Amino acid sequence: MNWDWSAVSDFMPHFWDGLLVTLQILVLGSLVSFGLGLVWALLMRVPSRWVTWPVGVVTEFIRNTPLLVQLFFLFYVLPEWNITFSALTTGVVAIGLHYSTYTMQVYRAGIEGVPVGQWEAATALNLPLGRTWTAVILPQAIRRVVPALGNYVISMLKDTPLLMAITVLEMLGEARLFSQQNFQFTEPLTVIGVAFIIISYLASLALRALERRLVH
């Protein structure tokens, strides 16, 4: 195996472009999955089967089909119905949607973990239902699920290369393009591999710091 430092320096401008896209996917995808997952979790608590049944079926379906299939579906099938987004937007929506079906279960566990006495105290103080959720239940539920949510962020990071399949030039996409043009595979793939490790590590450090702050 020949290691060529000049190939590394040639690749770096493309790497930074790819890194930026990967981080964009990760940040926006996380926000979508956190927001949407909470919506699913709350909808599943609506005391009506007309709500919980369809939400349950849809989220179960999304969770149990491959992300790659969902990416292709959103990218190639939606335009046939005249719904078109950029590849990046499609990717962010797909990955956020996919992971929201995992985060919803995290939220559910967090919500169920809030002691029933908290609900009772809220009733005894006559707090309205919405206020009970926003001021009492969710702050406690979310605090206890931050570590689990963080693990899904790291998991999502490792799924971002799938977006290459719908032409998004994130890190792997850039590396592949560079490799094909220059017939140098080792250097770009190694660089992005190291980048993935560093991002995961930094993310887990940030997560631990956040956990410590939340626990006091």
Partner 1 sequence: MSTETLPNPEKSPEQGGGELIRLEQVTKRFGSNTVLDNLDFAVDAGKHVTLIGPSGSGKTTILRLLMTLLKPDEGTITVDGQKLFPATEKERREARKQIGMVFQQFNLFPNMTVLRNITEAPVTVLGLSKDEAVERAKGLLDMVGLADKCDAHPAQLSGGQQQRVAIARALAMRPKVLLLDEVTSALDPELVAGVLDLLRDIARTTDITMLCVTHEMNFARDISDQVLMFDSGRVIEAGPPEKIFSEPEHDRTREFLSAVL
Cα-Cα-Cα-Cα dihedral sign, residues 19, 105, 48, 70: positive
Looking at the Cβ atoms of 109 and 127, the one nearer to partner 1 is 127
- CA distances, 48 to each of 13, 44, 96, 108 (Å): 54, 9, 26, 17
135 binds partner 1 (CB under 8 A): yes
Does 210 sit near partner 1 (CB under 8 A)? no
Shortest approach of partner 1 to residue 144 CB, angstroms?
A: 11
**Quick one: 134 or 181, whose CB is closer to partner 1?**
134
By the rule CB under 8 A, 47 interacts with partner 1: no
Q: Rule CB under 8 A: is residue 143 a binding residue for partner 1?
A: yes
State both tokens at 18.
Answer: 């790819």
Binding mask 110-129 for partner 1 (x = CB under 8 A): -----x-xx-xx-xxxxxx-
Query: In whole angstroms, how far apart are CA 123 and each of 28, 40, 49, 126, 127?
Result: 37, 24, 25, 5, 6
* Residue 202 touches partner 1, criterion: CB under 8 A: no
By CB under 8 A, how many residues form the interface with partner 1?
A: 18
The Cα-based distances of 150 to 61, 63, 130, 180 in angstroms read: 23, 18, 26, 35
Q: Kindly state the smallest distance separating residue 161's Cβ from partner 1, in Å.
A: 38
How far is 7 from 187, CA to CA, in rounded Å?
6
Q: Name the site residues for partner 1 (rule: CB under 8 A).
A: 115, 117-118, 120-121, 123-128, 131, 135-136, 139-140, 143, 216
